[in-house]
Chains A and B, each alone.
Chain A
Amino acid sequence: MAKYKMHMLVCGGTGCHASDSDMLFENLKKEVQDNNLENDVQVIATGCFGFCEKGPIVKVIPDNTFYVQVTPNDAKEIVAEHAIKGRAVKRLLYTDPVKKEQIPDSKHMGFYKKQLRIALRNCGMIDPENINEYLAADGYEAMGKVLLEMTPEETIKEVMDSGLRGRGGGGFPTGLKWQIASKNHADQKYVVCNADEGDPGAFMDRSILEGDPHSVLEAMVINGYCIAATKGLIYIRAEYPLAIHRLKIAIDQAREYGLLGKDILGSGFDFDVEIRYGAGAFVCGEETALIHSMEGERGEPTFKPPFPAQSGYQGKPTNVNNVETYANIPVIITKGAKWFASIGTEKSKGTKVFALAGKINNVGLIEVPMGITLREVIFEIGGGIQGGKKFKAVQTGGPSGGCLTEKHLDTPIDFDNLLAVGSMMGSGGMIVMDEDDCMVAVAKFYLEFTVEESCGKCSPCRIGNKRLHEQLDIISKGNATEKDLDNLKNLSNVIKDTSLCGLGQTSPNPVLSTMENFWDEYLAHVNEKRCPSGVCKDLIRYEVIAENCVGCTACARNCPVNCIAGERKQVHIIDQSLCIKCGACLEKCKFNAIAVI
């Protein structure tokens, strides 16, 4: 292989892809060629760097220069300045929002300082479409060690000792799951990778598959060896075309290198992987539902037991793990259980990947040790709230999780602590909300999701959630009484206690946690018929503040229903009977002359 003096890593994840990073990649390659630098500078399209807020990202190795918001037109300057003259292009460097200083390399950015990347170790570092790069990063070393030097029992023990717990949301000990599956004997067993990432706002599994697909394949082989399964299936959302594409390439390359297929590395162990496509159903993240979906059925869950480890795909013992869980396995094997267990809290070991989104400055994908506080995540890594607004809540765990507030900011994050405060880890979505978000509306939004995604098999979930949604709708319209709030709470608890699967058992969490933490806001909707955040349309109206209005006509010109009247340089008036409360006037007014009342 040629020895390059410089590597330019261009983010090729979905987020940056949507901002033309593919064209940027082509332009950089062309510039390198035009300047006859092909032997010195290598341009690589990698997986996600995580710093999606400022994408597309280009990182230059060896000096670690980190360029943000790079456009295809910047390629010429980067090559001319950085590759030829050795000077960083200053205007493309990241500027610290607090200190207002430019930060030349990623190691000193607040976003990366507190991160510890295990599952994401190769994302943004290697070309995911080239198996040699994964091999150069110690890829398939763990698999070799397991197949040639360790027994299945020893391997399972290593995973157990590491303390790794399922990263898909449940937090079940992975080693224990493997051990149970290994003890059930059958002529055929299956290993399934759950890549049906349905939690809106969480995109870590997609990023791992896009940025480091081989790590998942390697872990699946190890898993297969441990439980004596020779077939692996990856169940992936059809909405992730780029991840599917890279996964297919990885599978082909691994087969070609003899790392999948018959007699892997001469160990006598056979294992191969196939891809199965999801078709858009949140409930398919539940393992029994997922298995039914892979069998071509409606993805409805069934009662456990029997657990998939006893009777899963095609009625055979099946072990299902999530993408992020798998991505941790090779490192646990190469670095040892002891090392892994030294990271994290007492009962939650290792790291967790979180998708930071919402009203936060640094939207992106981060990986942090368990036990870090929400404050560190939101204010140090996440860079605080957008537009200098006030932090109100953070929603963790997706539609199954809860909203946490100011008072939870110093709670160390791990599986058990989040459960104790009424939320959950889930797959790691973290949606940050500010003072402009109404918690009743947020709860209603999540219930709308649950109602749509409930499979309809059990009545508490099918009917109960529908009723919850109706109740929330009534509250948001100002037609509820305090008695309705009691009913809401009761019904929530009934649904939790009686639903068949995890979806229904957790779907009232957004309601319960917002009621617990924002009771005043519910009371304001019910008693005062008022939405304190100015979100619920039926409880607000837009008014012109006469003393601020200069009569610029901006509001009237932008009103989609022409309900604002007023002459130039005269105070304008909103016709409340026609107003659709879209908020366009508020957005357009430069004089603070529109108020939400």
Chain B
Amino acid sequence: MTSVKLKLKDSDVQKLKEIAHSFNNEAGELINVLHKSQEHFGYLPAEVQEVVAEELNIPVAKVYGVVTFYSFFTMLPRGRYPISICTGTACYVRGAEKVLDEFKRILKVPVGETTADGKFSITCLRCVGACGLAPVVMVGDKTYGRVTTDGVKDILKEYENEE
């Protein structure tokens, strides 16, 4: 997994300390601390993991091991409008793969990456449980159901004028 190099601001470090402190700096709360940290930063770069490791008094390798184990955690920033395509079985048999291919073709980025302008990112997720609407696509918190390959353009159009 690649990562982005950055320098954390003092206020960011402070925020991470607060998060760790709210869980009593307990090593067993690592996953909860990471959830909160990702909520705050949007992703978990190496620099964030270093601070978390120090605060919980565990090796950075362990934090990295946990971050890379779970699919919910990401070390790359997502787009401002993160697109998630459900590739659960129900969506798969109703054509999710074709929808995914269309997003990849139009945005010209592979799964897991973000467009150069930072606007969209594509990820796959496994079943949001809205199988009645299969295939399902989520952009941020908004759910689109029964998406067709033609519908992909229309979804992207909605965000055309957004910054």
Contact = CB atoms under 8 A, between A and B. Distances in A.
Interface of A: 14-15, 17-19, 52-55, 197-203, 206-207, 238-240, 276-282, 293, 295-299, 355, 357-359, 363-364, 395, 398, 429, 431, 433, 437, 442, 445-446, 449, 452, 455, 558, 560, 582-584, 587
Given A18-B143, A18-B145, A363 B73 contact: no
Contact of B29 (A55, A296, A357): A296
B128 A14 contact: yes
Given A358-B93, A359-B94, A431-B90, A298 B27 contact: no
B75 to A, nearest CB: 13
Interface stretch (B2-10, B14-22, B114-122, B129-137): B129-137
Nearest to B131: A357
A560 B153 CA distance: 12
B31 A277 contact: yes
Given A280-B126, A281-B70, 12 more contacts: A18-B133, A18-B145, A202-B127, A203-B127, A239-B128, A277-B35, A296-B27, A296-B66, A358-B134, A431-B90, A446-B89, A582-B102
Nearest to A242: B129
Contacts of A14: 128-130
A437 B71 contact: no
B43 interface: no
Contact of B145 (A19, A203, A278, A429): A19
B46 interface: no
B57 interface: no
Interface string B88-130: 1110111000100110010000000000000000000111111
Choose among B34, B70, B105 the residue with the greatest number of A CB atoms under 10 Å from its CB: B70
A449 B27 contact: no
26 contacts: A14-B129, A18-B136, A18-B143, A19-B145, A54-B132, A55-B132, A199-B127, A201-B127, A202-B127, A203-B127, A238-B72, A239-B125, A239-B128, A277-B31, A280-B71, A280-B72, A280-B126, A282-B126, A296-B32, A355-B131, A357-B132, A358-B94, A364-B132, A455-B69, A582-B102, A584-B149
Nearest to A51: B132
A48 to B, nearest CB: 9
B149 A298 contact: no
Contact of B89 (A53, A398, A558): A398
B70 A201 contact: no
Given A203-B129, A281-B71, A431 B149 contact: no
Contacts of A298: 65-66, 69
Contact of A279 (B71, B130, B150): B71
B130 to A, nearest CB: 5
A52 B70 CA distance: 29
Contacts of B53: none
Interface residues of B, number: 41
**Which of B72, B136, B150 gathers the greatest number of chain A CB atoms within 10 Å?**
B72
A201 B88 contact: yes
A364 B105 CA distance: 32
A299 B69 contact: yes
Contacts of A297: 30, 66
Contacts of A587: 149
Among B72, B93, B105, B134: residue with most chain A CB under 10 A: B93
A398 B29 CA distance: 31
B8 to A, nearest CB: 22
Contact of B133 (A19, A238, A452): A19
Contacts of A359: 93-94
A583 B98 contact: yes
A187 B28 CA distance: 20
A298 B87 CA distance: 24
B35 A437 contact: no
Nearest to A535: B97
Interface core residue of A15, A55, A200, A446 (most chain B CB under 10 Å): A200
Nearest to B87: A200
Contacts of A201: 88-90, 127, 131
A398 B131 CA distance: 14
Contacts of A358: 89-90, 93-94, 134
B90 A357 contact: yes
A21 B100 CA distance: 27
B44 to A, nearest CB: 11
Nearest to A359: B93
Nearest to B126: A200
Nearest to B138: A18
Contacts of A238: 35, 72
A238 B74 CA distance: 14
Contacts of B125: 239
A200 B29 contact: no
A52 B73 CA distance: 30
Contacts of A296: 27-32, 66
